[in-house]
Amino acid sequence: MNLYQQRAANIRRTWALIAGFLLIVIAIGWLVSWYYEEQAILYLAVTIALLTNVFAYWHSDKLVLSMSRARPASREEFFDFYTVTENLAITAGLPLPKLYVINDPAPNAFATGRNETHAVVCATTGLLSLLGRSELEGVIAHELSHIKNRDILVMTIAVVLAGFVAIVADIFLRMSFHGGGRRDNGMGGNALILVLGVVGIILAPIAAKLIQLAISRHREFLADASGALLTRYPEGLAAALQKIGAYAAPMKRISHATAHLFISNPFGPSSGKRESWLARLFATHPPLSDRIQALVGK
């Protein structure tokens, strides 16, 4: 599979996962509506989830930069960072994003912002000192691809849906303990539906989180492929990922809320060690070895 085919396949997989997300939301909405015979619960849950996540999306760059303790990167201090980003932004047809750095020896980077004109690319000082120019180009192209591919929007949709599932599941379970639904009005032959529904709602937040993580992993593969197409030199990004993977120590200041944004797991990447299927299932990033193999076929 070449890079063009990989990019198309990852786009299809991502939207298939979004469709699966929507099916879970629809199923939960139907069950809660059927059980309580009351639409107000759904409207409340949707409103809370949407308001919370729209705020997070609108202010995502400020929130992430503050949590990461990032500072603006000056052209004089980080000349290569600036010139590489300028050249690639022109090639990609993007406005120059704001550039920030994090004082951390662990090599890593991320992109954030609500759209192309309000975008940010941030790199650690460890990444900027470790990588050669062609490797830095690979990483910056990866981050610009996140912006070009509207990954922030896609991940926000995933967060909105996951938040909706978690909120509705919590409301349903809390209220079911106090009665007031069809259980108190005589279930008859619908008892099995209720039991299966409750089990499904308990498991739904877990399923929603797994889908969100799967979307995050597919967006990394997509950004790798798109970045390689932008530079026309996949070996540069592959070499950068190898160096990032060789630095096993985690970043100094990290959060589970922002871990999926980084090019590599900020809690410590794993480039060659064989991971269990369960670890991969709950990972925010695909193994670096798989990403390198997808780029250069080795």
Q: Which residues are catalytic?
A: 143
Torsion of CA 5, 6, 11, 13, to 10 degrees: 110
The response to whether 38 counts as a known ligand-binding position is no
The response to whether 146 counts as a known ligand-binding position is yes
Q: What is the 3-state secondary structure (H, E, C) of the chain?
A: CCHHHHHHHHHHHHHHHHHHHHHHHHHHHHHHHHHHCCCHHHHHHHHHHHHHHHHHHHCHHHHHHHHHCCEECCCCCCHHHHHHHHHHHHHHCCCCCEEEEECCCCCCEEEEECCHHHEEEEEEHHHHHHCCHHHHHHHHHHHHHHHHCCHHHHHHHHHHHHHHHHHHHHHHHHHHHCCCCHHHHCCHHHHHHHHHHHHHHHHHHHHHHHHHHHHHHHHHHHHHHHHHHHHCCHHHHHHHHHHHHHCCCCCCCCCCCCHHHECCCCCCCCCCCCCCHHHHHCCCCCCHHHHHHHHHCC
Nearest Cα residue to 256 out of 216, 220, 292:
216
- C-alpha to C-alpha distances, 288 to 7, 238, 267, nearest whole angstrom: 17, 9, 14
Q: Would you state the structure tokens that stand for residue 178, as one six-digit string?
A: 């106090």
The response to whether 220 counts as a known ligand-binding position is yes
Binding region for Zn(2+): 142, 146, 220
Binding region: 142, 146, 220
